[in-house]
Amino acid sequence: MTRTKKLSLCAVFTALALGLSYAERFIPLQLVIPLPGIKLGLANVVTLAALYRFGKGYAFGILTARCLLGSVFGGLSSLAFSLVGGLLALGVMCLGTKSKRLSVYGISVLGAAFHNIGQILTAAAVLGSWYVAAYLPWLLLVSVITGFFIGALTAGVLRLLPGEVQA
Amino acid sequence: MPKTRFSLWDIFPAAGTILLALLLFLLFLPAKTPADRVEIYQNGTLLETLPLTRDASYEIEGSYKNTVTVKDGKVAVTESSCPGGDCKASGWLTSSGSIVCLPNGAEIRVVSQSPDVDIVLR
């Protein structure tokens, strides 16, 4: 594939991720699971698809660009949270893809869990106390559910994406 | 080729996550002694300690403004100018635990009698 095509695909993926992370604010997940701060993690569909189709370098680029652009709307304080959570999740998902046995479902759950771990670590650093980790068990339990859901979505997307969408 | 079909091995990440959640849950189990104080922190510094027994209100300044209200032995963030509003959504807290407003770096902690112990690690 030409460099231009690769670059355009990455731009489209970044725009999609940005759109999805904005759109999911309007999904009232709190009505089903009443915990403050939880979300589906729709943008992880894009990160996972990029990881599978383009490889980890491109997935890293798309994730970082999404976080930086997203901070234009969310502010600088949210940048640290999305970057630490996102990068930790991507790192663990990269390791997960090394396993020949795990499917996109299991890797998505790993990503969701480590995204939460990364965000709580950032919160602990910002607040200067480990007390916030008391909230992590609830987030982890929810991440199993959302992780499987995002895994199912990504599995569908990977099946439907044309074969030429590949680095 | 990516595996897009669910495999039984995918149970392991899920089970590991649930196990970690249970372990952390036990680790942060609230103390047996009843909660009696509210500690208000911002960016790691203690701003104010309020007794749970007396109705009171406290304003946390900073990038945003949070109003902490103590009423009938319960505490909540009743007003906040932060964008997410998760601190308000946390509702009223009666036993050990905390309400957090991340954009403002604020933490409202309900603690029990022993003032020199934050958490008990077992």
Domain that residue B60 falls in: 35-112
Which residue ranges of chain A lie beneath pLDDT 70? 74, 167
Cβ B13–A113 below 8 Å, yes or no? yes
In this prediction, residue B75 has a pLDDT band, given cuts at 50, 70 and 90, of very high
Q: What type of residue sits at position B92? A: W
Question: Taking 90 as the threshold, does the pLDDT of residue B89 lie above it?
Answer: no
Question: Any idea of the CA torsion for A9, A15, A17, A21, to the nearest 10 degrees?
Answer: 180
Task: Give the residue from B32, B30, B52 showing the smallest Cα distance to B40.
Answer: B52
- Other Cβ atoms less than 10 A from the Cβ of B77: the count is 26
Q: Is residue B81 part of a domain?
A: yes
Q: Is residue B103 part of a domain?
A: yes
Q: Is residue A41 part of a domain?
A: yes
pLDDT digits (tens, 9 = 90+) for A43-78: 999 999 999 999 999 999 999 999 999 988 767 778
CATH number at residue B106: 2.60.320.10
Tell me whether B89 touches chain A (CB under 8 Å): yes
Q: Of A30-44, B21-35, B92-106, which gets the smallest average pLDDT?
A: B21-35
Q: Is residue A166 part of a domain?
A: no
Domain that residue A14 falls in: 3-160
DSSP-assigned letters across all residues of B5-38: S--GGGHHHHHHHHHHHHHHHHHTPPPSSPEEEE
Cβ B98–A132 below 8 Å, yes or no? yes
Task: Give the residue from A102, A86, A97, A83 showing the smallest Cα distance to A51.
Answer: A97
Cβ A140–B83 below 8 Å, yes or no? no
Q: Is residue B7 part of a domain?
A: no
Q: Is residue B120 part of a domain?
A: no
8 Å CB contact between A111 and A65: no
Cβ A155–B4 below 8 Å, yes or no? yes
Q: Is residue B16 part of a domain?
A: no
| C-alpha pair distances (Å), A60 with each of A10, A74, A96, A127, B51 | 11, 20, 15, 28, 48
Count of domains in chain A?
Answer: 1
SS3 (DSSP) at B93: strand
8 Å CB contact between B75 and B52: yes
Residue B103, Cα to own-chain centre: how many angstroms?
14
Count of domains in chain B?
Answer: 1
Whether the ipTM is more than 0.95: the answer is no
Nearest CA in chain A to B18: A141
pLDDT digits (tens, 9 = 90+) for B32-57: 677 889 999 998 889 999 998 899 99
Q: Is residue B49 part of a domain?
A: yes
Question: How much is the pLDDT for B30?
Answer: 67
CATH number at residue A143: 1.10.1760.20
Token pair, residue B2, equals 């990516």
What is d(CA A84, CA A8) in angstroms, rounded to the nearest whole number? 26
What is d(CA A48, CA A96) in angstroms, rounded to the nearest whole number? 11
Question: How much is the pLDDT for A118?
Answer: 96
- How far the first Cα of chain B sits from its last, in Å, is 45
In this prediction, residue B118 has a pLDDT band, given cuts at 50, 70 and 90, of low
Tell me whether B109 touches chain A (CB under 8 Å): yes
Question: How much is the pLDDT for B85?
Answer: 82
Question: How much is the pLDDT for B1?
Answer: 56
Q: Is residue A167 part of a domain?
A: no
